[in-house]
Structure 1
Amino acid sequence: MTSTCRPGRAWIITPALRAGRFEGAQNCGAAVAVVDIEDSVALRDKQTARTACEAFFALPDPTCTRGIRINSLTTLDGIKDIAALAAYTHRPDLILVPKVESPRDIELTAASLDTDGYTPDIWALIESPRAFNNLPGIMRAPRLGGVVFGSADYAASVGCGLSWEALRYTRSSLINAATAADIPAIDAPTWELHNPDTLRRDAELAKELGFYGKGCVHPRHVEVINEVFTPTAEELSQARAIVAAADASGGSVTTVNGQMRGTPFFNAARALIADADRTS
Protein backbone atom coordinates (compact mmCIF):
# COMPACT_ATOMS: atom_id res chain seq x y z
CA MET A 1 0.00 0.00 0.00
CA THR A 2 1.25 3.48 -0.81
CA SER A 3 2.10 5.45 2.31
CA THR A 4 -0.21 8.35 3.13
CA CYS A 5 2.20 9.83 5.68
CA ARG A 6 2.79 13.54 5.10
CA PRO A 7 5.51 14.32 7.62
CA GLY A 8 5.77 18.06 7.19
CA ARG A 9 6.37 21.16 5.16
CA ALA A 10 9.98 22.18 5.88
CA TRP A 11 12.76 19.64 5.31
CA ILE A 12 16.34 20.37 6.34
CA ILE A 13 19.33 18.35 5.19
CA THR A 14 22.66 18.29 7.02
CA PRO A 15 25.96 16.56 6.14
CA ALA A 16 26.78 13.38 8.03
CA LEU A 17 30.29 14.57 8.81
CA ARG A 18 29.05 17.71 10.60
CA ALA A 19 28.02 16.12 13.90
CA GLY A 20 28.04 19.52 15.57
CA ARG A 21 25.01 20.44 13.48
CA PHE A 22 22.93 17.36 14.29
CA GLU A 23 21.09 18.71 17.33
CA GLY A 24 20.49 22.08 15.71
CA ALA A 25 19.03 20.48 12.60
CA GLN A 26 16.59 18.47 14.68
CA ASN A 27 15.48 21.44 16.75
CA CYS A 28 15.32 24.25 14.19
CA GLY A 29 11.61 23.90 13.56
CA ALA A 30 11.80 21.72 10.44
CA ALA A 31 9.29 18.89 10.39
CA VAL A 32 11.83 16.58 8.73
CA ALA A 33 15.57 16.52 9.39
CA VAL A 34 17.64 14.46 6.96
CA VAL A 35 21.28 13.50 7.46
CA ASP A 36 23.15 13.15 4.18
CA ILE A 37 25.76 10.58 3.22
CA GLU A 38 25.46 11.14 -0.52
CA ASP A 39 26.38 14.37 -2.31
CA SER A 40 27.81 16.18 0.72
CA VAL A 41 30.34 13.41 1.41
CA ALA A 42 33.45 12.72 -0.69
CA LEU A 43 33.99 9.16 -1.91
CA ARG A 44 36.95 8.64 0.39
CA ASP A 45 34.82 9.55 3.42
CA LYS A 46 31.75 7.42 2.75
CA GLN A 47 32.50 4.76 5.34
CA THR A 48 33.31 7.35 7.98
CA ALA A 49 30.02 9.11 7.29
CA ARG A 50 28.12 5.83 7.29
CA THR A 51 29.35 5.15 10.80
CA ALA A 52 29.13 8.70 12.12
CA CYS A 53 25.55 9.40 11.12
CA GLU A 54 24.08 6.73 13.41
CA ALA A 55 24.59 9.32 16.17
CA PHE A 56 22.02 11.48 14.37
CA PHE A 57 19.33 8.95 15.22
CA ALA A 58 20.53 8.35 18.79
CA LEU A 59 19.80 11.90 19.96
CA PRO A 60 17.01 11.80 22.58
CA ASP A 61 13.55 13.33 22.38
CA PRO A 62 13.35 14.12 18.66
CA THR A 63 10.95 16.91 17.74
CA CYS A 64 10.84 15.96 14.06
CA THR A 65 10.82 13.08 11.63
CA ARG A 66 14.42 11.92 11.19
CA GLY A 67 15.65 10.65 7.85
CA ILE A 68 18.75 9.75 5.90
CA ARG A 69 19.72 10.30 2.29
CA ILE A 70 21.67 7.25 1.25
CA ASN A 71 23.75 6.79 -1.89
CA SER A 72 22.26 5.55 -5.13
CA LEU A 73 21.43 1.85 -5.13
CA THR A 74 23.21 1.56 -8.48
CA THR A 75 26.50 2.14 -6.62
CA LEU A 76 28.50 -0.01 -4.22
CA ASP A 77 28.21 2.70 -1.59
CA GLY A 78 24.43 2.54 -1.81
CA ILE A 79 24.49 -1.20 -1.14
CA LYS A 80 26.86 -0.65 1.79
CA ASP A 81 24.52 2.02 3.14
CA ILE A 82 21.59 -0.39 3.18
CA ALA A 83 23.66 -3.04 4.95
CA ALA A 84 24.80 -0.50 7.55
CA LEU A 85 21.26 0.76 8.18
CA ALA A 86 20.04 -2.78 8.76
CA ALA A 87 22.56 -3.07 11.60
CA TYR A 88 21.90 0.30 13.25
CA THR A 89 20.64 0.25 16.82
CA HIS A 90 18.84 3.54 16.23
CA ARG A 91 17.19 3.66 12.82
CA PRO A 92 15.77 6.48 10.68
CA ASP A 93 12.07 7.13 10.34
CA LEU A 94 12.53 7.96 6.67
CA ILE A 95 14.84 6.81 3.88
CA LEU A 96 15.45 9.23 1.01
CA VAL A 97 16.68 7.27 -2.01
CA PRO A 98 18.56 9.42 -4.56
CA LYS A 99 18.85 9.03 -8.34
CA VAL A 100 15.66 6.95 -8.47
CA GLU A 101 14.83 5.97 -12.04
CA SER A 102 12.83 2.80 -11.45
CA PRO A 103 10.34 1.47 -8.88
CA ARG A 104 12.92 -1.24 -8.27
CA ASP A 105 14.99 1.19 -6.17
CA ILE A 106 12.08 1.60 -3.76
CA GLU A 107 11.31 -2.11 -3.77
CA LEU A 108 14.93 -3.04 -2.99
CA THR A 109 15.09 -0.58 -0.12
CA ALA A 110 11.91 -1.96 1.40
CA ALA A 111 12.90 -5.59 0.87
CA SER A 112 16.26 -4.99 2.53
CA LEU A 113 15.10 -2.98 5.54
CA ASP A 114 11.50 -3.91 6.35
CA THR A 115 11.04 -6.17 9.38
CA ASP A 116 8.09 -6.99 11.59
CA GLY A 117 9.02 -4.11 13.87
CA TYR A 118 10.44 -1.62 11.38
CA THR A 119 8.97 -0.24 8.16
CA PRO A 120 10.56 3.13 7.39
CA ASP A 121 8.88 5.68 5.18
CA ILE A 122 10.67 5.51 1.80
CA TRP A 123 10.88 8.57 -0.44
CA ALA A 124 12.35 8.98 -3.92
CA LEU A 125 14.60 11.83 -5.01
CA ILE A 126 13.61 12.56 -8.60
CA GLU A 127 16.51 14.27 -10.35
CA SER A 128 17.18 12.97 -13.86
CA PRO A 129 15.53 13.03 -17.28
CA ARG A 130 15.17 9.26 -17.23
CA ALA A 131 13.37 9.48 -13.89
CA PHE A 132 10.87 11.93 -15.35
CA ASN A 133 10.30 9.62 -18.32
CA ASN A 134 9.58 6.80 -15.87
CA LEU A 135 7.45 8.71 -13.36
CA PRO A 136 4.24 6.65 -13.78
CA GLY A 137 6.10 3.44 -13.00
CA ILE A 138 8.03 4.92 -10.10
CA MET A 139 4.83 6.25 -8.56
CA ARG A 140 3.34 2.76 -8.54
CA ALA A 141 6.00 1.42 -6.16
CA PRO A 142 3.92 0.02 -3.26
CA ARG A 143 6.14 1.41 -0.49
CA LEU A 144 6.72 4.87 -1.94
CA GLY A 145 5.81 7.53 0.61
CA GLY A 146 6.53 10.63 -1.45
CA VAL A 147 8.92 12.34 -3.84
CA VAL A 148 11.47 15.14 -3.58
CA PHE A 149 12.61 17.23 -6.54
CA GLY A 150 16.39 17.27 -7.07
CA SER A 151 16.82 20.49 -9.01
CA ALA A 152 20.62 20.72 -8.97
CA ASP A 153 21.27 17.26 -10.39
CA TYR A 154 18.49 17.62 -12.95
CA ALA A 155 19.76 20.99 -14.18
CA ALA A 156 23.31 19.69 -14.38
CA SER A 157 22.24 16.65 -16.39
CA VAL A 158 20.35 18.62 -19.03
CA GLY A 159 22.54 21.72 -18.99
CA CYS A 160 19.78 24.15 -18.06
CA GLY A 161 19.67 26.89 -15.45
CA LEU A 162 18.26 26.66 -11.94
CA SER A 163 15.79 29.49 -12.42
CA TRP A 164 12.11 28.91 -11.77
CA GLU A 165 11.24 29.36 -15.44
CA ALA A 166 13.89 26.87 -16.57
CA LEU A 167 12.47 24.17 -14.29
CA ARG A 168 8.76 25.02 -14.32
CA TYR A 169 7.80 22.20 -16.70
CA THR A 170 9.80 19.66 -14.70
CA ARG A 171 8.24 20.73 -11.42
CA SER A 172 4.76 20.64 -12.95
CA SER A 173 5.34 17.13 -14.28
CA LEU A 174 6.40 15.93 -10.86
CA ILE A 175 3.39 17.51 -9.15
CA ASN A 176 1.01 15.98 -11.68
CA ALA A 177 2.45 12.49 -11.27
CA ALA A 178 2.57 12.70 -7.48
CA THR A 179 -1.00 13.96 -7.24
CA ALA A 180 -2.21 11.18 -9.53
CA ALA A 181 -0.58 8.69 -7.14
CA ASP A 182 -1.94 10.51 -4.06
CA ILE A 183 1.49 11.11 -2.56
CA PRO A 184 3.13 14.40 -1.49
CA ALA A 185 5.93 16.15 -3.36
CA ILE A 186 8.61 18.31 -1.73
CA ASP A 187 10.36 21.04 -3.69
CA ALA A 188 14.13 21.41 -3.93
CA PRO A 189 15.99 23.85 -1.67
CA THR A 190 16.68 27.42 -2.65
CA TRP A 191 20.44 27.55 -3.07
CA GLU A 192 20.88 31.26 -2.26
CA LEU A 193 21.59 31.13 1.46
CA HIS A 194 21.48 34.84 2.28
CA ASN A 195 18.56 36.18 0.23
CA PRO A 196 15.29 35.78 2.15
CA ASP A 197 13.30 37.47 -0.61
CA THR A 198 14.40 34.84 -3.14
CA LEU A 199 13.56 32.09 -0.68
CA ARG A 200 10.10 33.47 0.00
CA ARG A 201 9.39 33.90 -3.71
CA ASP A 202 10.51 30.33 -4.45
CA ALA A 203 8.45 28.93 -1.58
CA GLU A 204 5.35 30.84 -2.67
CA LEU A 205 5.72 29.62 -6.25
CA ALA A 206 6.22 26.04 -5.05
CA LYS A 207 3.11 26.23 -2.90
CA GLU A 208 1.10 27.75 -5.75
CA LEU A 209 2.21 24.95 -8.08
CA GLY A 210 1.08 22.28 -5.63
CA PHE A 211 4.17 21.19 -3.68
CA TYR A 212 3.41 20.03 -0.15
CA GLY A 213 6.60 21.51 1.27
CA LYS A 214 10.16 22.56 0.49
CA GLY A 215 13.66 21.47 1.35
CA CYS A 216 16.41 23.68 2.73
CA VAL A 217 20.10 23.50 3.60
CA HIS A 218 20.23 26.16 6.32
CA PRO A 219 18.20 26.51 9.53
CA ARG A 220 17.45 30.16 8.80
CA HIS A 221 15.27 29.05 5.86
CA VAL A 222 12.94 26.94 7.99
CA GLU A 223 10.87 29.77 9.42
CA VAL A 224 10.08 31.25 6.00
CA ILE A 225 9.12 27.86 4.54
CA ASN A 226 6.84 27.09 7.49
CA GLU A 227 5.25 30.51 7.24
CA VAL A 228 4.58 30.25 3.50
CA PHE A 229 3.18 26.73 3.59
CA THR A 230 1.01 27.24 6.68
CA PRO A 231 -2.47 28.48 5.69
CA THR A 232 -3.10 32.03 6.87
CA ALA A 233 -6.08 32.99 9.00
CA GLU A 234 -7.56 34.71 5.94
CA GLU A 235 -7.13 31.60 3.76
CA LEU A 236 -8.82 29.44 6.39
CA SER A 237 -11.62 31.97 6.81
CA GLN A 238 -12.24 31.98 3.06
CA ALA A 239 -12.19 28.19 2.96
CA ARG A 240 -14.74 27.96 5.77
CA ALA A 241 -16.96 30.47 3.98
CA ILE A 242 -16.85 28.34 0.85
CA VAL A 243 -17.70 25.18 2.80
CA ALA A 244 -20.56 26.96 4.53
CA ALA A 245 -21.88 28.14 1.16
CA ALA A 246 -21.58 24.62 -0.22
CA ASP A 247 -23.59 23.23 2.68
CA ALA A 248 -26.20 25.96 2.32
CA SER A 249 -26.60 25.32 -1.39
CA GLY A 250 -26.73 21.56 -1.02
CA GLY A 251 -23.58 21.26 -3.11
CA SER A 252 -24.92 23.30 -6.01
CA VAL A 253 -23.07 26.13 -7.72
CA THR A 254 -23.23 29.26 -5.61
CA THR A 255 -21.44 32.55 -5.02
CA VAL A 256 -19.04 33.54 -2.25
CA ASN A 257 -17.91 37.14 -1.96
CA GLY A 258 -18.96 37.82 -5.54
CA GLN A 259 -17.16 34.81 -7.02
CA MET A 260 -18.80 31.71 -8.50
CA ARG A 261 -17.99 28.58 -6.57
CA GLY A 262 -18.78 24.95 -7.33
CA THR A 263 -17.62 21.41 -6.60
CA PRO A 264 -13.87 21.86 -7.34
CA PHE A 265 -13.74 24.87 -5.02
CA PHE A 266 -15.74 23.04 -2.35
CA ASN A 267 -13.33 20.10 -2.45
CA ALA A 268 -10.25 22.34 -2.30
CA ALA A 269 -11.64 24.27 0.66
CA ARG A 270 -12.47 21.10 2.58
CA ALA A 271 -9.00 19.69 1.88
CA LEU A 272 -7.33 22.88 3.11
CA ILE A 273 -9.31 22.84 6.36
CA ALA A 274 -8.70 19.12 6.92
CA ASP A 275 -4.95 19.51 6.44
CA ALA A 276 -4.84 22.54 8.74
CA ASP A 277 -6.73 20.61 11.42
CA ARG A 278 -4.42 17.62 11.05
CA THR A 279 -1.23 19.66 11.47
CA SER A 280 -2.45 22.03 14.18
Structure 2
Amino acid sequence: MTPRPAPAGVWFITPGHSPARFPAAHRCGADVALVDLEDSVPAALKAQARQNAAAFFTAPAIAPALGVRISSPTTRDGIHDLAAIAEYPTRPDIVLIPKTESPRDIEVAAGVLDAPGYTPHLYGLIETPRALEDLPSIVRAPRLAGVLFGTADYATATGCTATWDALLHARSVLVTSAAAAGIHAIDSPFFDLQDNAGLRREAEQARNLGFAGKCCVHPRQLPHVTAVFTPTDAEVATARAIVAAAQDAGDRIVEVAGQMVGPPMVKAARALVARAEAVGTQHEVTA
Protein backbone atom coordinates (compact mmCIF):
# COMPACT_ATOMS: atom_id res chain seq x y z
CA MET A 1 0.00 0.00 0.00
CA THR A 2 1.33 3.47 -0.92
CA PRO A 3 1.76 5.62 2.22
CA ARG A 4 -0.54 8.63 2.53
CA PRO A 5 1.35 11.84 1.77
CA ALA A 6 2.03 13.94 4.86
CA PRO A 7 0.10 17.22 4.74
CA ALA A 8 1.89 20.53 4.15
CA GLY A 9 0.65 23.98 3.11
CA VAL A 10 -1.49 26.25 5.26
CA TRP A 11 -2.41 25.10 8.77
CA PHE A 12 -5.12 26.58 11.00
CA ILE A 13 -5.53 25.97 14.71
CA THR A 14 -8.63 26.46 16.86
CA PRO A 15 -9.01 26.04 20.65
CA GLY A 16 -10.57 22.82 21.89
CA HIS A 17 -12.62 24.48 24.61
CA SER A 18 -14.66 26.46 22.02
CA PRO A 19 -16.64 23.87 20.02
CA ALA A 20 -18.75 26.63 18.49
CA ARG A 21 -15.69 27.44 16.38
CA PHE A 22 -15.29 23.92 15.00
CA PRO A 23 -17.57 24.32 11.94
CA ALA A 24 -15.67 27.45 10.86
CA ALA A 25 -12.39 25.54 11.14
CA HIS A 26 -13.83 22.74 8.99
CA ARG A 27 -14.81 25.28 6.31
CA CYS A 28 -11.76 27.54 6.58
CA GLY A 29 -10.09 26.36 3.37
CA ALA A 30 -6.74 25.56 5.00
CA ASP A 31 -4.86 22.42 4.06
CA VAL A 32 -4.89 21.31 7.70
CA ALA A 33 -7.17 22.27 10.60
CA LEU A 34 -6.03 21.43 14.12
CA VAL A 35 -7.98 21.45 17.35
CA ASP A 36 -5.76 22.59 20.22
CA LEU A 37 -5.56 20.93 23.62
CA GLU A 38 -2.42 22.77 24.70
CA ASP A 39 -1.48 26.45 25.05
CA SER A 40 -4.73 28.07 23.90
CA VAL A 41 -6.77 26.10 26.47
CA PRO A 42 -6.87 27.33 30.10
CA ALA A 43 -5.76 24.69 32.62
CA ALA A 44 -9.21 24.52 34.18
CA LEU A 45 -10.78 23.70 30.80
CA LYS A 46 -8.37 21.08 29.51
CA ALA A 47 -10.50 18.09 30.47
CA GLN A 48 -13.52 19.69 28.79
CA ALA A 49 -11.47 20.49 25.67
CA ARG A 50 -10.28 16.88 25.52
CA GLN A 51 -13.90 15.73 25.58
CA ASN A 52 -15.04 18.38 23.08
CA ALA A 53 -12.31 17.52 20.62
CA ALA A 54 -13.85 14.13 19.80
CA ALA A 55 -16.57 15.96 17.87
CA PHE A 56 -13.98 17.87 15.82
CA PHE A 57 -13.17 14.70 13.89
CA THR A 58 -16.76 13.84 13.01
CA ALA A 59 -16.69 16.67 10.45
CA PRO A 60 -18.56 16.50 7.15
CA ALA A 61 -16.74 14.77 4.30
CA ILE A 62 -15.88 18.16 2.84
CA ALA A 63 -13.13 19.29 5.20
CA PRO A 64 -9.37 19.76 5.30
CA ALA A 65 -7.06 17.21 6.87
CA LEU A 66 -7.94 17.25 10.56
CA GLY A 67 -5.55 17.01 13.47
CA VAL A 68 -4.95 17.77 17.12
CA ARG A 69 -2.22 19.47 19.10
CA ILE A 70 -1.86 17.57 22.34
CA SER A 71 -0.06 18.71 25.47
CA SER A 72 3.51 17.49 25.85
CA PRO A 73 3.60 13.71 26.32
CA THR A 74 5.96 14.29 29.25
CA THR A 75 3.09 15.92 31.20
CA ARG A 76 0.00 14.52 32.87
CA ASP A 77 -2.25 16.43 30.47
CA GLY A 78 -0.37 14.99 27.51
CA ILE A 79 -0.81 11.45 28.80
CA HIS A 80 -4.54 12.07 29.27
CA ASP A 81 -4.75 13.57 25.77
CA LEU A 82 -3.17 10.53 24.14
CA ALA A 83 -5.35 8.11 26.06
CA ALA A 84 -8.49 10.05 25.10
CA ILE A 85 -7.58 10.28 21.41
CA ALA A 86 -6.97 6.53 21.27
CA GLU A 87 -10.63 6.05 22.23
CA TYR A 88 -12.21 8.68 19.95
CA PRO A 89 -14.86 7.21 17.62
CA THR A 90 -13.15 9.00 14.73
CA ARG A 91 -9.47 9.68 15.23
CA PRO A 92 -7.32 12.49 13.84
CA ASP A 93 -5.24 12.33 10.68
CA ILE A 94 -2.49 14.37 12.33
CA VAL A 95 -1.14 14.62 15.87
CA LEU A 96 1.12 17.56 16.70
CA ILE A 97 3.45 16.88 19.63
CA PRO A 98 4.64 20.04 21.43
CA LYS A 99 7.96 20.43 23.23
CA THR A 100 9.42 17.60 21.15
CA GLU A 101 13.02 17.19 22.32
CA SER A 102 13.93 13.61 21.40
CA PRO A 103 12.81 10.74 19.17
CA ARG A 104 11.36 9.20 22.32
CA ASP A 105 8.58 11.81 22.37
CA ILE A 106 7.47 10.57 18.95
CA GLU A 107 7.80 6.94 19.99
CA VAL A 108 5.59 7.49 23.04
CA ALA A 109 2.81 9.03 20.94
CA ALA A 110 3.06 6.30 18.33
CA GLY A 111 3.05 3.62 21.01
CA VAL A 112 -0.24 4.86 22.41
CA LEU A 113 -1.99 5.76 19.17
CA ASP A 114 -0.88 3.30 16.49
CA ALA A 115 -3.38 0.52 15.97
CA PRO A 116 -4.37 -1.89 13.19
CA GLY A 117 -5.59 0.29 10.34
CA TYR A 118 -4.62 3.53 12.07
CA THR A 119 -1.24 5.26 11.99
CA PRO A 120 -1.68 9.04 12.23
CA HIS A 121 0.84 11.49 10.83
CA LEU A 122 2.96 12.60 13.79
CA TYR A 123 4.50 16.08 13.68
CA GLY A 124 7.00 17.38 16.22
CA LEU A 125 6.73 20.96 17.44
CA ILE A 126 10.30 22.24 17.72
CA GLU A 127 10.36 25.10 20.20
CA THR A 128 13.32 24.71 22.56
CA PRO A 129 17.12 25.06 22.26
CA ARG A 130 17.51 21.43 23.33
CA ALA A 131 15.29 20.34 20.45
CA LEU A 132 17.36 22.35 17.98
CA GLU A 133 20.56 20.71 19.26
CA ASP A 134 19.05 17.23 18.86
CA LEU A 135 17.33 17.80 15.51
CA PRO A 136 19.47 15.31 13.55
CA SER A 137 18.15 12.47 15.70
CA ILE A 138 14.60 13.84 16.08
CA VAL A 139 13.95 14.21 12.35
CA ARG A 140 14.95 10.59 11.76
CA ALA A 141 12.41 9.16 14.17
CA PRO A 142 10.72 6.45 12.05
CA ARG A 143 7.17 7.67 12.71
CA LEU A 144 7.84 11.40 12.26
CA ALA A 145 6.02 12.96 9.30
CA GLY A 146 7.15 16.56 9.75
CA VAL A 147 8.17 19.35 12.08
CA LEU A 148 6.74 22.73 13.01
CA PHE A 149 8.66 25.67 14.41
CA GLY A 150 7.37 27.31 17.59
CA THR A 151 8.78 30.83 17.70
CA ALA A 152 7.12 32.04 20.90
CA ASP A 153 8.52 29.37 23.20
CA TYR A 154 11.87 29.30 21.43
CA ALA A 155 12.34 33.07 21.76
CA THR A 156 11.36 32.92 25.43
CA ALA A 157 13.78 30.07 26.11
CA THR A 158 16.73 31.76 24.40
CA GLY A 159 15.94 35.32 25.44
CA CYS A 160 15.99 36.54 21.84
CA THR A 161 13.40 38.76 20.21
CA ALA A 162 10.68 37.03 18.20
CA THR A 163 11.77 38.71 14.96
CA TRP A 164 12.68 37.14 11.65
CA ASP A 165 16.36 38.10 11.88
CA ALA A 166 16.76 36.84 15.45
CA LEU A 167 15.17 33.50 14.60
CA LEU A 168 16.69 33.02 11.15
CA HIS A 169 19.40 30.66 12.38
CA ALA A 170 16.91 28.37 14.12
CA ARG A 171 14.59 28.40 11.11
CA SER A 172 17.46 27.60 8.75
CA VAL A 173 18.64 24.68 10.88
CA LEU A 174 15.09 23.33 11.07
CA VAL A 175 14.50 23.52 7.32
CA THR A 176 17.88 21.95 6.58
CA SER A 177 17.40 19.07 9.02
CA ALA A 178 13.89 18.39 7.75
CA ALA A 179 15.05 18.40 4.13
CA ALA A 180 17.89 16.02 4.97
CA ALA A 181 15.35 13.61 6.47
CA GLY A 182 12.87 14.06 3.62
CA ILE A 183 10.06 15.46 5.78
CA HIS A 184 8.06 18.70 5.79
CA ALA A 185 8.87 21.78 7.85
CA ILE A 186 5.96 24.12 8.67
CA ASP A 187 6.59 27.65 9.96
CA SER A 188 5.25 29.20 13.15
CA PRO A 189 2.18 31.43 13.26
CA PHE A 190 2.52 35.20 12.97
CA PHE A 191 0.95 36.59 16.13
CA ASP A 192 0.27 40.26 15.24
CA LEU A 193 -3.30 40.03 13.97
CA GLN A 194 -3.32 43.66 12.82
CA ASP A 195 -0.19 43.54 10.64
CA ASN A 196 -1.23 41.85 7.40
CA ALA A 197 1.75 43.27 5.53
CA GLY A 198 4.10 41.79 8.13
CA LEU A 199 2.27 38.46 7.92
CA ARG A 200 2.59 38.39 4.14
CA ARG A 201 6.26 39.34 4.31
CA GLU A 202 7.06 36.64 6.88
CA ALA A 203 5.13 34.01 4.92
CA GLU A 204 7.12 34.89 1.79
CA GLN A 205 10.39 34.70 3.73
CA ALA A 206 9.40 31.31 5.14
CA ARG A 207 8.50 29.96 1.71
CA ASN A 208 11.74 31.29 0.22
CA LEU A 209 13.74 29.66 3.03
CA GLY A 210 12.23 26.28 2.24
CA PHE A 211 9.27 25.88 4.61
CA ALA A 212 6.47 23.81 3.09
CA GLY A 213 3.75 25.82 4.83
CA LYS A 214 2.82 28.12 7.70
CA CYS A 215 0.37 28.08 10.59
CA CYS A 216 -2.41 30.59 11.14
CA VAL A 217 -4.13 31.44 14.42
CA HIS A 218 -6.98 33.58 13.05
CA PRO A 219 -9.27 33.13 10.03
CA ARG A 220 -8.39 36.52 8.58
CA GLN A 221 -4.76 35.41 8.25
CA LEU A 222 -5.66 32.51 5.97
CA PRO A 223 -6.08 34.37 2.65
CA HIS A 224 -2.69 36.05 3.01
CA VAL A 225 -0.78 32.86 3.82
CA THR A 226 -2.71 30.81 1.27
CA ALA A 227 -1.82 33.32 -1.46
CA VAL A 228 1.88 32.96 -0.63
CA PHE A 229 1.93 29.16 -0.52
CA THR A 230 -0.31 28.64 -3.55
CA PRO A 231 1.73 28.48 -6.78
CA THR A 232 0.78 31.17 -9.30
CA ASP A 233 -0.48 30.25 -12.76
CA ALA A 234 2.80 31.44 -14.23
CA GLU A 235 4.84 29.34 -11.79
CA VAL A 236 2.75 26.26 -12.57
CA ALA A 237 3.03 26.81 -16.33
CA THR A 238 6.81 27.11 -16.06
CA ALA A 239 7.02 24.01 -13.88
CA ARG A 240 4.90 22.00 -16.30
CA ALA A 241 7.11 23.12 -19.19
CA ILE A 242 10.22 21.99 -17.28
CA VAL A 243 8.69 18.60 -16.48
CA ALA A 244 7.57 18.08 -20.07
CA ALA A 245 10.96 19.10 -21.50
CA ALA A 246 12.77 16.78 -19.10
CA GLN A 247 10.51 13.88 -20.04
CA ASP A 248 11.06 14.52 -23.75
CA ALA A 249 14.83 14.60 -23.17
CA GLY A 250 14.90 11.44 -21.10
CA ASP A 251 15.61 13.48 -17.96
CA ARG A 252 18.85 14.86 -19.45
CA ILE A 253 19.82 18.49 -18.89
CA VAL A 254 17.75 20.69 -21.20
CA GLU A 255 17.16 24.35 -21.94
CA VAL A 256 13.77 25.83 -21.02
CA ALA A 257 13.03 29.50 -21.73
CA GLY A 258 16.74 30.27 -21.94
CA GLN A 259 17.60 28.55 -18.66
CA MET A 260 19.63 25.38 -18.25
CA VAL A 261 17.53 22.85 -16.34
CA GLY A 262 19.01 19.83 -14.58
CA PRO A 263 17.66 17.11 -12.29
CA PRO A 264 17.34 19.31 -9.14
CA MET A 265 15.24 21.86 -11.03
CA VAL A 266 13.10 19.10 -12.52
CA LYS A 267 12.52 17.61 -9.08
CA ALA A 268 11.49 21.03 -7.76
CA ALA A 269 9.18 21.55 -10.73
CA ARG A 270 7.48 18.22 -10.15
CA ALA A 271 6.97 19.10 -6.49
CA LEU A 272 5.45 22.46 -7.44
CA VAL A 273 3.06 20.83 -9.92
CA ALA A 274 2.04 18.30 -7.27
CA ARG A 275 1.42 21.12 -4.79
CA ALA A 276 -0.68 23.01 -7.35
CA GLU A 277 -2.74 19.92 -8.09
CA ALA A 278 -3.28 19.30 -4.38
CA VAL A 279 -4.43 22.89 -3.88
CA GLY A 280 -6.74 22.60 -6.86
CA THR A 281 -8.31 19.45 -5.46
CA GLN A 282 -8.76 21.12 -2.06
CA HIS A 283 -10.48 24.12 -3.68
CA GLU A 284 -12.81 21.84 -5.64
CA VAL A 285 -13.74 19.99 -2.47
CA THR A 286 -14.38 23.11 -0.39
CA ALA A 287 -16.25 25.02 -3.12
Flag whether TM exceeds 0.5 (same fold): yes
SS of 1:203's equivalent in the other structure is helix
Q: CA deviation at 1:41?
A: 1.6
Deviations 1:241-279 (A, max 9, x none): 334444566555554434443333233223322333344
SS of 2:165's equivalent in the other structure is coil
Hey, what does 2:157 align to over in structure 1? Answer: 157
Alpha-carbon separation, structure 2, partners of 1:147 and 1:156:
19
Alpha-carbon separation, structure 1, partners of 2:90 and 2:167:
37
Amino acid across the alignment from 2:76? L
Deviations 1:191-226 (A, max 9, x none): 111222111111111111111111000111112222
Aligned length, in residue pairs: 280
SS of 2:40's equivalent in the other structure is coil
Q: TM-score, normalised by structure 1?
A: 0.92
Amino acid across the alignment from 1:56? F
Contact 1:4 1:145 (8 Å CA) reproduced: no
Hey, what does 2:32 align to over in structure 1? Answer: 32
Hey, what does 2:203 align to over in structure 1? Answer: 203
Contact 1:242 1:266 (8 Å CA) reproduced: yes
Q: CA deviation at 1:67?
A: 0.8
Contact 1:9 1:225 (8 Å CA) reproduced: no
Hey, what does 1:68 align to over in structure 2? Answer: 68
Hey, what does 1:240 align to over in structure 2? Answer: 240
Q: Which runs of 5+ in 1 are unaligned?
A: none
Q: Which runs of 5+ in 2 are unaligned?
A: 281-287
Q: CA deviation at 1:52?
A: 2.0
Alpha-carbon separation, structure 2, partners of 1:139 and 1:26:
29
Amino acid across the alignment from 1:60? P
Amino acid across the alignment from 2:43? L
SS of 1:215's equivalent in the other structure is strand
Q: 1:258 to 1:62 in 2, by over 3 A?
A: closer
Hey, what does 1:139 align to over in structure 2? Answer: 139
SS of 2:89's equivalent in the other structure is coil
Q: CA deviation at 1:45?
A: 2.3
RMSD: 2.1
Q: Is 1:269 equivalent to 2:272 in the alignment?
A: no
Alpha-carbon separation, structure 1, partners of 2:268 and 2:87:
44
Q: 1:149 to 1:4 in 2, by over 3 A?
A: farther
Listed as ranges, the matches of 1:1-280 within 5 Å are: 5-247=5-247, 251-280=251-280
Q: CA deviation at 1:121?
A: 1.3
Q: CA deviation at 1:4?
A: 6.0
Identify the range of structure 1 (146-155 vs 87-96) with the bigger mean alpha-carbon deviation: 87-96
SS of 1:165's equivalent in the other structure is helix
Contact 2:17 2:46 (8 Å CA) reproduced: no
